[in-house]
Amino acid sequence: LDVRTNCDGTIALLEACKEHKPKFLLLSTFFVYGNPAKLPVDEESPCEPLGLYPATRLCAEHFCKIYSRLHAFHLNICRLTNVYGPGEVFDNTKKGAFNHLIWKAKRGEPIDLYRGGDFFRDYLYIDDAVEALATVAERAPAGELYVVGSGEPVMFKDLMDCLHRLTGRGSAIGSMEPPLFHQVVGTVNFSMNISKIKRLGWAPKIGYEEGITRTLASYGS
């Protein structure tokens, strides 16, 4: 499925670009970096994907670069960090995992965190992500790559403390060992240097406490 979606699907879109030559903005992922040796990552950091999903996303980037050179259309690539907020699924632990935890905390359900949440990550609220993509689409020179995140990493267990305070539910927090893939990808520390996209005039506006508050409100009573 990853190959069909990220490789075959991207090529199908690129084939259409050969004739129509639109502005093409590819959304990629921070997972292409694998387990970075140096933080924060930026646009020049080496990519060492550790699974099929990030490998196919990196392949999609290469396909886009090749097609844009051969067929002369405007291309930009954005590698997004973890994005959360209203509209994301909340009942799937594999997709939108942070939204899933927000939903469980709102219901007062027990929450098991990988290794007790003792790692930091970069989380970006959906409205800020949309504004970042619009900024790149409108202002970025052709051929440029941007990392898109909050630029302010936060300890995962601190996010849980914030959730408890905002919900008042006090979900029991447990610790669990992650599956093999998440042992090398999902529980490593991660942060982004967003200096390059800031030079286009964009900066995140919504901190994680405000973002969590808005997400909780979107789930209703």
Alpha-carbon distances, residue 83 vs 27, 99, 114, 125, 157 (angstroms): 12, 9, 19, 6, 18
pTM attached to this predicted model: 0.90
Domain CATH number, residue 51: 3.40.50.720
Question: What pLDDT score was predicted for residue 186?
Answer: 56
Asked whether the beta carbons of 121 and 186 are under 8 A apart, the reply is no
* pLDDT digit string, tens, across residues 111-169: 777 777 788 999 999 999 999 999 999 999 999 999 999 999 999 888 888 988 898 87
Environment class of residue 117 by beta-carbon count within 10 Å: exposed (0-12), middle (13-18) or buried (19+)? Answer: buried
**Tokens in use for 207?**
């901190």
Distance CA 150, CA 203 (A): 8
Strands 154-155 and 120-121: antiparallel
Distance CA 125, CA 132 (A): 11
* pLDDT digit string, tens, across residues 69-100: 999 999 999 999 999 999 876 665 556 678 88
Question: What pLDDT score was predicted for residue 208?
Answer: 94
Which residue range(s) make up the domain with 132? 2-218
- 41 has a pLDDT exceeding 80: yes
Question: What pLDDT score was predicted for residue 111?
Answer: 78
What angle, 0 to 180 degrees and rounded to 10, lies between the N-to-C axes of helices 156-167 and 97-106? Answer: 30
Number of domains in the chain: 1
pLDDT (mean) for 42-65: 96
Question: What pLDDT score was predicted for residue 183?
Answer: 58
pLDDT (mean) for 50-70: 95
* pLDDT digit string, tens, across residues 167-221: 887 666 766 666 665 655 555 789 999 999 999 999 999 999 999 999 989 887 6
- Is the N-terminal amide bond of 40 cis, ω within 30° of 0? yes
